[in-house]
Structures are given as structure tokens and as C-alpha cells.
Amino acid sequence: MSLPEAKLYATEEDVQKAWLEWSKYRTCFRCQKSFNWLDSYGSHECRQHLGGVSYKMCINVDGFKRRDYRYWNCCKKKPFTAIRNINDTIWSQFRQTRPIIHTFPTADEIPGCVPCDHSEASHILDDGIRLNMSAESPYYSFAPLGGHTVNDEVIYLGETRIVEQVYYDKSVDLADVDQGRIPADKLIWPDVKWKLKKGNYVNWNFKNTPIPIKILKRTIVEPYGKQKVKIDFEIKNIGMAVHDIAAMIPHMSGNPEERPGWQFDKVDGKVMFPYIKNTARRAPYNI
Ligand SMILES: [Zn+2]
Ligand SMILES: [Zn+2]
């Protein structure tokens, strides 16, 4: 479901329409509780797991590492409180049911590890954290926050070039390159791996979209002496922009600005990314 927006200067009619949707009672897909968006948006009253179920590393009794399968990636817990396979060997001794047609009562799911909003949809709400990303990649690129500007130096196809013109989607024309508009993700920011410092805000150009991010961690890896940089970062514009729901704020119960999803980044006292997120950050970035 997509939320209807009500911008700051929305008409009475638009606000009315959005208010109807936002005030409707719904049933949460995850916890089955009822909720409405006016009361719960950005308040993280539910919990979810991030990512899928795979394995965790364990040490055997003889001291060897091995993979132990069927654990949540996020919190390394088993998805269910019971191990179905072991139960099944017992059940199968005396069952009078037909498998598949008569399913066994399932064990309780382990509650989610990351607080998030209630939702009617079954998808995982993105916390915007991306882990262990390479500083240089053929699939994306980084640029200063807001993108490259005219007269900036960039590297394109191995050559240093000067930006001559910037378009709204951050694609550029380069001096001495006789070509159409060049998408931002094809441009390399000179010395990019040293510019991606912890705490910096930069642009991440991915699939022709410039996305503002904050660097959370930088790791230097040295395969065969060639230094490579890996970073953890957080996407800053995930969620709903405040101006898109501004007209709904007077109707929201409690003090909406005290909801956990409403913590905006400030730089020099100025609010930079006024978005409301409907999930908390994962560990270890959940502060
Ligand atoms: Zn989890
Ligand atoms: Zn819920």
C-alpha cells in the first residue's frame, strides 16, 4: 500500500482524502495488532528481521569452524522456537493426519530484532544501512553531496576531465568529450576512497539516481598490497519527506516530533534530511 501524501499547502480536498486513509484502522501483517497511520507512523511499534535466513559460523567440539544453517542473518537466531525436523520424527510415529493436507501447528516465530512500524505489507522495511560496500565499483559511484558542479575534476574512462555542464539528474557534459550526457554513475571522483570518511555526507549514484548518504564506517583492506576501501553507509532519504505529510501533523496524536522515526540529521544546527523513517537502524548502528 502506498500512503497518500498531504503536502504543506495541500488543498482542503487533498487533506480530507489523505486523512481518511491515514485514520483507517488496519491489521498489521507482522503482529496482527490493529493500527492506523496517524497514531503509528514513525513510532516503531512493531519489530522485524532484516534480510533472510541463512547460516552462522560455529566452532565444532574439535575446534573447526563450520556453518550452522537456518538462522536469521540479522540477529543469528533460529526463526522458530522449535526445530520442526526433530519434532517431525516424533510426530510421524503416531500421526493420524495426512501430511501437507493436515499441517502441524507451527511453533511461534522469534520476534523481530529491529523496531519498525506496523504495516499491512509483507515486505521488509528498509533501514537504509548498506554494509561493506566498495568505494569503487562498475555499478555505482560516489560524488560530493549535491553532485559534481561545473569546473569540478572527475575521471571518465581513465582520463581526468572538467565538468562543463550539469543537468537536473546529475548527468554531465565534460570538456573535450564529444558525447551525449554522461550519467553520474560513470564518473569517478578523484581520490574517492580517501574522501569517504566516517561522518561525511556524500552522493551515491546508483541506477542513474543520486542518493544522499552518510558514511558510518570505513575499513581499509589490503589484498596483495593494493589498498581497497570498504564502507558502511546509511541512505538518508528513505522514508517519507516531512513536507509530504505536513498537513497531517495537526491530526496526529501525541507529539509526532518525539517519535523515534523523526530524528533528523543536523549539520551546523541546520536540519539536512527531513524524512520520517518507519524502521530503526540495525545493530551496530542502532543508536
Ligand atoms: Zn533478526
Ligand atoms: Zn505490527
Report the separation in Å between the CA atom of 234 and the middle of ligand 2, taken as the mean of its atom positions: 24
> Smallest Cα–Cα separation from 22: which of 41, 46, 8?
41
pLDDT at 179: 87
**Coil/strand/helix, residue 64:** coil
What is the H or E stretch that residue 203 is in?
strand 201-206
Give 117-148 pLDDT, tens digit per residue: 999 998 899 999 999 999 999 999 999 999 99
Checking 92-95 for CB contacts under 8 A at 24+ apart, the result is none
pLDDT at 21 over 70: yes
Q: How far is the CA of 110 from the centre of ligand 1 (A)?
A: 8
- Distance separating alpha carbons of residues 120 and 66, to the nearest angstrom: 38
Q: In percent, how much of the chain has pLDDT > 70?
A: 91
Cα 110 to ligand 2 centre (Å): 14
Residue 274, Ramachandran bin (φ over 0: left; ψ between -120 and 50: alpha; else beta) = beta
- The answer to whether residue 92 scores a pLDDT higher than 80 is no
How far, in Å, from the CA of 32 to the mean position of ligand 2?
6
pLDDT for residue 269 = 86
Residue 246, by phi and psi: left (phi above 0), alpha (psi -120 to 50) or beta?
alpha
Of the bound ligands, which one is closest to the alpha carbon of residue 127?
A: 1
Instruction: State pLDDT tens for residues 240-276.
Output: 999 999 999 988 988 998 999 998 888 888 888 889 9
More confident residue, 133 or 91: 133
Maximum CA extent, the chain: 80
40 CA distance to ligand 2 centroid (A)?
A: 10
| Cα 118 to averaged position of ligand 2 atoms, centre (Å) | 4
Ligand 2 midpoint to CA 182 (Å): 44
- Residue 233, pLDDT > 60, answer yes
Q: Give distance in angstroms: CA of 11 to centre of ligand 2.
A: 32
Between the CA of 26 and the centroid of ligand 2 the distance, in Å, is 10
List, for residues 168-214, the tens digit of each pLDDT value.
888 999 999 888 899 999 999 999 999 999 999 999 999 989 999 99
Look at residue 97 in the predicted model and tell me its pLDDT.
Answer: 63
Pairing of strands 266-267, 270-271: antiparallel
Give the number of the ligand closest to the Cα of residue 78: 1
Contact 143, 213 (CB under 8 A): no
Cα angle at 169 between 164 and 171, to 5 degrees?
35
Q: Look at residues 9, 112, 5, 4 and name the one whose alpha carbon lies nearest to residue 51.
A: 112
Instruction: Locate all alpha helices (DSSP H) within the chain, ordered by sequence.
Output: 12-23, 37-40, 84-94, 192-195, 242-245
Tell me, what's the pLDDT at 19? 92
Ion ligand 1 contact residues with beta carbon within 5 A: 49, 72, 74-75, 113
Q: Are 205 and 213 in contact (CB under 8 A)?
A: no
Total-model pTM: 0.83
Q: Is the confidence at residue 36, as pLDDT, over 90?
A: yes
Res. 56: pLDDT tops 80? yes
> 41 CA to middle of ligand 2, Å?
12
Strands 159-166 and 172-174, by their bridges, are antiparallel
Compute the distance from residue 53 Cα to the ligand 1 centre, in Å: 9
Distance 116 CA to ligand 2 centre (A): 8
CA distance 131 to 165: 33
Written as nine digits, the cell of 9 is 499547502
- CB-CB contact of 33 with 111 (8 Å): no
- pLDDT of residue 83 exceeding 70, the answer is no
Beta bridge partners of 80: 109
Ligand nearest to the CA of 51: 1
Ligand 1 center to 49 CA (angstroms): 4
CA distance 168 to 184: 11
The percent of residues above 90 in pLDDT, for the chain, comes to: 56
Q: Which ligand is nearest to the CA of 116?
A: 2
Task: Quote the ligand 1 centre to 175 CA distance (angstroms).
Answer: 50
